[in-house]
Amino acid sequence: MASLWLLLGLLLSSSAEAGKLLVIPSDGSHWLGMKPIVEELGRRGNQVVVVIPEASLSMGPSEHTTTLTYPVNYTKAELKASIADEFNTILSIDISTDLAKFQAFIISLDVLQMFILRNAEGLLFNKDLMKKLQEYNFDAVLTDPFEPVGAIAGEYLSIPAVYMLINHPCGVDTLSSQCPAPASYVPQAFTHFTDRMNLWQRSVNLVRTLLQPMACERMFARADEIASHVLQRKASMVEIMSHAALWFLRFDFAVEFPRPLMPNMVMIGATKGPLTKELEEFVNGSGEHGFVVFTLGSMVSQLPEAKARVFFEAFRQIPQRVLWRHTGPVPENAPKNVKLMKWLPQNDLLGHPKVKAFITHGGSHGIYEGIYHGVPLVMLPLFGDQGDNVQRLVSRGVAETLSIYDLTSEKLLVALRKVINDKSYKEKMTELSAIHRDRPIEPLDLAVFWTEFVMRHKGAVHLRPAAHELNWIQYHSLDVIGFLLLILVTVIFVTVKSCMFCFRKCFKKTQKKKKE
């Protein structure tokens, strides 16, 4: 019905309203989320130009758009090898303490940053291409703030920017949009806290909240230098992104803990692909017990042998069939109910009526697909925001979580049997799914509408709060409090002095009288 609505819109609005849109996406699953929106914008008659590096993991041409590429000083093989290396480190080393996990995360983020910055230089220092982009005279830029390249390019071209993100390691969306995030119930990223925190957790969260600006400074140190060089002025990523026309947040309060928003934030949730009919035979053959889907995301297709054995042993003991994305060595006596695959049509399988559970690392795409189709989860968080996603779903009673580091077949079996046999998981997930799917307008249509809105109106100035014109002291009313205290002190001082003066006058008179 949504597409009928769009079709009608297309027919009636014609190309008179069409705009020129620059798209600078980010790699990996980020591009997978942005691509359908970009293609729909092109299909509706907008001139969409997607600018990507020659070497990338997943980015490539899209329909109804023009793709421009630029050379970068690394190859796709280097990028892949480096990322695989990071994941192997995470999977093999025993980093069971929180601090060790955090250190491993920071190190892997730094490796990622290195490529992100080389990508940014590849585009921004490419004078010919930047000149060409300027000549296009774009109405807006749609980009992912996970990488600084698009934000800096948009600022350089002086065009309104639409930022689409799932979440950001240093919370640049909250900082740049000046969105209030009370530390008492809005957990910071990577704390793995829920919105119900005890005193100790709230203390950690407050410290984390206060440190966020410094975290962004550290993370964007080199990006700030590149921005300053390109823009020929002292610039910072937080300041550049504070000029955002709109923020598209790819989450839904069916998952995210409720928290304040700003008027220029649009919750576009997750877009989903269509269902196909692959693997029908294997999953239909699973009978009344149904089947389980198991994948650790697009980045990890191979587990160390010892870890893999844990899974094989557990799967041998369940009546369900298992579809597993696994490219590592297979033991000789691998159980018959397990089908190994190089690639899984995850969304199709989760949409199948016989699916019973989804074993996942907890990436955003996966969990939203799981919720959309109402499938209970067993979560094995590895990296990034996955640990936080776990909290959001476990606290709603729709998922069990396990640590990949000290996993045993028994633990896996307990969790798997729980989410499959305890009806409450499926019931709560069905409820969550109903809420998540019940929207006045489809995420894709919403994203398309607001991107076109920004192009039509040359930004969204009416949604920009005056907070951006205040400094830190003014924003927190510290000058006002000082001013009010000054008035109070002055009033008290004057009152006391006046009283003392009157008192002395009267007292003197009395003394004089007495003397007389």
Residues that bind its own copies (CB under 8 A): 1, 4-5, 8-9, 12, 179-180, 182-185, 195-196, 199, 202-203, 206-207, 253-254, 257-264, 432, 434-435, 438, 440-441, 445-446, 449-450, 453, 456-457, 462-467, 469-470, 474-477, 479-481, 483-484
Least CB distance to its own copies at residue 164 (A): 16
- Coil, strand or helix at 357: strand
By beta-carbon proximity to its own copies, the closer residue of 202 and 289 is: 202
**Closer residue to its own copies (CB): 330 or 484:** 484
Q: Which is nearer to its own copies, 136 or 453 (CB)?
A: 453
Measured from the CB of residue 433, what is the shortest distance to its own copies in angstroms?
A: 12
Interacting residues of 142 by C-beta distance below 8 A, sequence separation 6+: 21, 22, 23, 24, 34, 37, 38, 41, 150, 161, 162, 164, 451
Of 421, 423, 403, the closest CA to residue 412 belongs to 403
Cα separation of the two ends of the chain: 103
Torsion 369-372-375-380 (CA) sign: positive
Q: How far is the CB of 362 from its own copies (least distance, A)?
A: 19
**Do the beta carbons of residue 90 and residue 382 sit within 8 Å?**
yes
Q: How many CB atoms lie within 10 A of CB 271?
A: 21
Min separation Cβ 448 and its own copies, Å: 9
By the 8 A CB rule, do 252 and 368 touch? yes
Q: What is the closest distance, in whole angstroms, from the C-beta atom of residue 212 to its own copies in the complex?
A: 15
Q: Which is nearer to its own copies, 411 or 457 (CB)?
A: 457
Closer of 400 and 445 to its own copies (Cβ):
445
When the beta carbons of 259 and 418 are compared against its own copies, the nearer one is 259
Tell me the C-alpha distance between 336 and 347, whole Å: 24
Work out how close the CB of 366 gets to its own copies at its nearest, in angstroms, rounded to a whole number: 20
CB of 204 to its own copies, least distance (A): 9
Residue 434: CB minimum distance to its own copies, A:
7
Question: Which amino acid is present at 431?
Answer: E
In order, the DSSP letters of 161-172 are EEEEES--TT-H
Integer Cα distance of 246 and 142 in angstroms: 10
Residue 157, by phi and psi: left (phi above 0), alpha (psi -120 to 50) or beta?
A: alpha
Beta-bridge mates of residue 386: none
In whole angstroms, the minimum distance from the beta carbon of 232 to its own copies comes to: 29
CB of 352 to its own copies, least distance (A): 24
In sequence order, the β-bridge partners of residue 189 are none
Q: Which is nearer to its own copies, 326 or 464 (CB)?
A: 464
Are 20 and 424 spatial neighbours (Cβ–Cβ below 8 Å)?
no
C-alpha of 107 from chain center: 19
Nearer to its own copies, 208 or 356 (CB): 208
Collapsed DSSP state (helix, strand, coil) of residue 67: strand
Whichever of 122 and 160 has its CB closer to its own copies, that residue is 160
Reduce the DSSP state of residue 324 to 3 states and report it. strand
In the complex with its own copies, the residue whose CB is nearer, 341 or 467, is: 467
CA pair distance 394, 401, nearest whole angstrom: 7
